[in-house]
A and B are shown apart, each in its own frame.
Chain A
Amino acid sequence: MLLEVSNLAVSFRMEGRIVEAVRGVSFSLDRGEILALVGESGSGKTVTALSILQLLPYPRAFHPSGSIRLLGREMVGADEATLRAIRGNRVGMVFQEPMTSLNPLHTVEQQVSEVLILHRRMSRQQARERVVELLRLVGIDDAERRLASYPHQLSGGQRQRVMIAMALANEPDLLIADEPTTALDVTVQAQILRLIRDLQRRLGMAVLLITHDLGIVRKMADRVCVMTQGEIVEQGPVSRMFEAPQHPYTRHLLAAEPRGRPPAVRAEAPVVMEARDLKVHFPIQRGLLRRTVGWIRAVDGVSLAVREGETVGVVGESGSGKTTLGLALLRLLPSDGAIRFAGTDIQGWSWKQMRPLRRQMQIVFQDPYGSLSPRLTVGEIVEEGLLVHRLVRSPEERRERVARILEEVGLDPEMMDRYPHEFSGGQRQRISIARAMVLEPRFVVLDEPTSALDVSVQAQIVELLRSLQERHRLAYLFISHDLRVVRALAHQVIVMKEGRVVEQGPAAEIFERPQAAYTRALLAAALDLEVAEPEAVSG
């Protein structure tokens, strides 16, 4: 057995308290096997993985019990020299965020050759050759030229490939991949997953894959451990987990994938928001006099119409101009082209002119942590719109309105005197939605409102958005890269790439009969985690 974890517990000392992060975790992993550790945020899956290499902040973290036997050696309490000989040598690790896990001041060559020089005592020249070989192995084209590149000159997918090259440099027996594709676009995600699988087969190593995405588990893993609240509640072969889940939590997790279809739109519903040939171009300025040398076409000629009670889904990968489009429609960014709100052309209106309209058009942002003012209570955050538009004068009445809307989004009104940091991600997103909804808007831009949330919470938020739409006949512009969520919510879909519309039409048609090659690739990557027609995707 390559890795054997038995009865492992991890606790943290926090200001005199002891927090138990992981309790009684046991699993084993053999050569050539892929084991997935699935769980939602805070379930202890990353802590478990980090304790294998003893990378936790000791002595603040400690193991009250348990043992980790790796290659026949005990890791818990092993001395630094033993650990160093294993880290990066027998065990490689890939982290979630490729930007921050690469040193921004080191070139690709320096980054990757470090482990070679350290563990294999290779000369610079030998190391260089091996680095080129590794870069080719992980599918970086033009490997020699890339040696001198810095991380910021690479795309997200390339950075993750470099990370994998580093992890594989010494042909490890075990690769620990901690959410290796979470920060990447769907098409890139599919490529990276395929790369990991290919390499695993070719090199015969074991992979411990940590993820929250059941789709990835189904695609990649041989066996799976489901973790929640620091414990493994179910483990076994992947097929059994998907077909006959034993534990209620596993069943809950499986049931949580967003499903259902949006409610039908009335035939005579009026158009709320309309844009014709909308363009947002940012100037590229150079030199002392800041001459404009070119334009970044963030949004280039998009036309759309959103009717009352209708959801228009905007899908595309990062940098495709989805968010810019949403902000431009709300006139939060300067743009060209006609924008008609409820029949009136609002393009070119001043900030003052726009102010009364603001209550009818709202936005919900992606990051539930960044979008709430940390120093205001939930009540103060939600009531702000009412204050700005002088809708409700007396504080008592305002409190009541806030309480009512909090209840509507599924929060306890008693919570209005608490601060945002006391809430979970899903609850915070509900607060953001309440802030937008308290003004009773007609048009709401939802900018990736579910991307930062756990799957089970995602489904709840989708449900909430759908019921709010039905009750108040809201018009949504739903921006997302997650096609499963879009399928559950959108009536119309716009597929964007590099600021342009690739394909546009009724959701059912786009999902069933995609016309453009790019759309097909996107759908394959997002729904089946497959790399389709590589020429359609650049990543």
Chain B
Amino acid sequence: MRSMARRIPYRFLGVRLRLTPLGIRRLENFRANRRGYWSLVIFLWLFGISLFAEFLANDRPICIRYDGRFYFPVFFTYPETTFGGDFPTEADYRDPFVRAAIEEKGWILWPPIPYRYDTVIRDLPGPAPSPPSWQNPLGTDDQARDVLARVIYGFRISVLFGLVLTLASSIIGIAAGAIQGYAGGWVDLLFQRFIEIWSGLPVLYLLIILASIFTPSFWLLLTIMLLFSWMSLVGVVRAEFLRVRNFEFVRAARALGVSNLVIMFRHILPNAMVSALTFLPFILNGSITTLTSLDFLGFGLPPGSPSLGELLAQGKNNLHAPWLGITGFVVLATILSLLVFVGEAVRDAMDPRKTFR
């Protein structure tokens, strides 16, 4: 349905939006919570930067000028023979031979951190894990990989995982809650009992068993966790639907001949969205924590992937290398605090007592 509501241009975080007056009042309430607002700004910057992790921390140069031509190893794979090497395999730009060969006829532009999350540094001054130094600002882990590079990639994968999981479980949860609340009666009764049984399943054991049958990957892990995380929003949305479906405006819509689907989405859902949206940052937080704890236990992402949980596990196994544990702790604490602050601001923004009158 094309709506004809008046919309007013409004700038938020530098983005030009066209919003209803209610939306604007919400965003202004959000902004009034300074801590939450700045947490969102910082979080968006960190997340935005981490999306370009390949340009920030990589064992392939961003750009190579060789023999009068430009090469972009970040995007393309070039065999060693391109740069006058001997093998038709991919060039190893960290190899002193290759490097010397290229620099003879041009130059190399390296990212600020010349390591990827899985780059094993072979020329460390001491045994791995090595303490922070100019080459490795946060030190290396016990497999001689740069911790800063792993943190950048790990942050990205954690947040992405959390976002996808939150989005998917919100869609399923809201739909399930909406159907239950709107239909009521037997549908509601049976569905609620199913949820009670389903939420009684021991998730961690299931994950451990499944992890031993399948090789865990990002998407498999996401699917398994989604099986259990969609229930968090059902209760709120269901309650809201049960409450609102008896309001007179819903009855008025039925008297107009509006179909059930439209009533659910146009008339009731916006009311339920307030409580659902308020929950989102906290669900995101929960998703990140769950992934981290699985990684910490070793049932998470496949071995070798950058992950904050694995960093924490290393910190626990290498107490003589405190930079591992401290880094893991600081990064996690920062993400989680930022998101909680954002969540508080969202709650303020959605507070009807602040919005109306």
Contacts and interface: CB of A to CB of B under 8 A. Distances in A.
Interface of A: 14-15, 330, 332, 354-356, 358-359, 361-363, 365-367, 370-377, 379-380, 383-385, 387-389, 395, 398-399, 416-419, 421, 432, 435, 439
Given A379-B4, A387-B1, A395-B2, A374 B271 contact: yes
Contacts of B2: 395
B100 interface: no
A373 B247 CA distance: 9
Given A375-B22, A375-B271, A377-B20, A385 B256 contact: yes
A119 to B, nearest CB: 35
Given A375-B22, A421-B357, A358 B5 contact: no
Given A365-B248, A373-B267, A439 B256 contact: yes
Nearest to A362: B255
B6 interface: yes
Contacts of A332: 251, 254-255
Given A388-B257, A435-B252, A419 B22 contact: yes
A417 B251 CA distance: 23
A14, A358, A399, most chain B CB atoms within 10 A = A358
A373 B3 contact: no
B21 A419 contact: yes
Interface string B249-275: 101111111110010001100110000
A371 B252 contact: yes
Contacts of B248: 365-367, 370-371
Contacts of B87: none
Contact of B4 (A330, A365, A372, A395): A395
A355 B3 CA distance: 22
B356 interface: yes
Please name the 3 residue pairs, one residue from A and one from B, whose CB atoms are nearest each other, closest first: A417-B6, A358-B257, A371-B248
Nearest to B3: A380
Given A330-B255, A358-B255, A375-B271, A380 B5 contact: yes
11 contacts: A355-B257, A363-B255, A371-B248, A379-B4, A384-B253, A388-B257, A388-B258, A398-B4, A399-B4, A416-B4, A419-B22
A399 B5 CA distance: 10
Contacts of B267: 373, 376
Contact of B249 (A358, A362, A371, A439): A371
B6 to A, nearest CB: 3
Contacts of B6: 377, 417
Contacts of A417: 5-6
Given A380-B4, A395-B2, A354 B257 contact: yes
Nearest to A384: B256
B249 A373 contact: yes
B186 to A, nearest CB: 11
Contacts of A384: 253, 256, 258, 266
Contacts of A376: 5, 266-267, 270
Interface size class of B (residues with CB under 8 A): 20 to 34
Contacts of A367: 248
B256 A379 contact: no
Contacts of A370: 247-249
Contacts of A356: 257
A246 B336 CA distance: 67
A429 to B, nearest CB: 12
Contacts of B258: 384, 388
A366 to B, nearest CB: 8
Given A379-B4, A388-B257, A439-B256, 16 more contacts: A14-B357, A359-B256, A362-B255, A365-B248, A365-B252, A371-B247, A371-B248, A371-B252, A373-B270, A376-B270, A383-B4, A385-B256, A385-B257, A388-B259, A395-B4, A435-B252
A419 B6 CA distance: 10
Nearest to A420: B249
A36 B62 CA distance: 85
B4 A432 contact: no
A417 B253 CA distance: 19
A243 B258 CA distance: 52
Contacts of A421: 356-357
A376 B3 CA distance: 9
A375 B249 CA distance: 11
A419 B3 CA distance: 14
B352 to A, nearest CB: 9
- Interface-centre pick from B1, B4, B256 (highest chain A CB count, 10 A): B256
A330 B258 CA distance: 14
B4 A388 contact: no
Contacts of B254: 332
A375 B252 contact: no
Interface string B1-34: 1111110000000000000111000000000000
Report which residue of B4, B5, B255 has the largest number of chain A beta carbons within 10 angstroms of its beta carbon: B255
